[in-house]
Amino acid sequence: QVQLVESGGGVVQPGRSLRLSCAASGFTFSSHGMHWVRQAPGKGPEWVAVISHDGTKKYYADSVKGRLTISRDNSKNTLYLQMSSLGTEDTAVYYCAKDRRVEASNLDYWGQGIQVTVSS
């Protein structure tokens, strides 16, 4: 069955960096777009970024452009989110999610989420 397992979260000071990983299994990773979606406490989901199945296309929310970078390693079935210049507004649960298609469409599987807290 499809499994998505996030790791790398934690507490980080403002201005610092963090890298999240998402280990995927149970499907052909290289055939699907992958997303990061975050959710701040008490808020709805906020889409962060998507990467196409082959890694050639990447799109970002305006709120993270230039600070967060999505990437993937299809040989390792792993998705990444490199986060830099973090601010308190980045505090949220971060989910990786599998797309039904090769780029951006419906999100049919989600990880359990990982907490990122930006605080001094």
Partner 1 sequence: AIQLTQSPSSLSASVGDRVTITCRASQGFNNALAWYQQKLGKAPKLLIYDAFNLESGVPSRFSGSGSGTDFTLTISSLQPDDFATYYCHQFYSFPITFGQGTRLEIK
Q: According to CB under 8 A, which one of 8, 23, 110, 117 is a site residue for partner 1?
A: 110
Residue 27 found at the interface with partner 1 (CB under 8 A): no
Cβ 14 vs Cβ 87: under 8 Å: yes
Nearest-approach distance from CB 91 to partner 1, in angstroms: 17
Tell me the DSSP string of 64-89: TTTTEEEEEETTTTEEEEEE-S--GG
Cβ 88 vs Cβ 108: under 8 Å: no
Q: According to CB under 8 A, which one of 60, 79, 92, 116 is a site residue for partner 1?
A: 60
Could you tell me which stretch among 12-20, 23-31, 81-89, 105-113 binds partner 1 (CB under 8 A)?
A: 105-113
In the numeric block, the tokens 């807290």 are attached to: 117
Token couple for 68: 């967060």
Residue 102 found at the interface with partner 1 (CB under 8 A): no
Residue 112 found at the interface with partner 1 (CB under 8 A): yes
Residue 108 found at the interface with partner 1 (CB under 8 A): yes
Burial of 20 (0-12, 13-18, 19+ CB in 10 A): buried
Residues at the site binding partner 1, with contacts judged by CB under 8 A:
35, 44-47, 50, 59-62, 95, 97, 100, 104-113
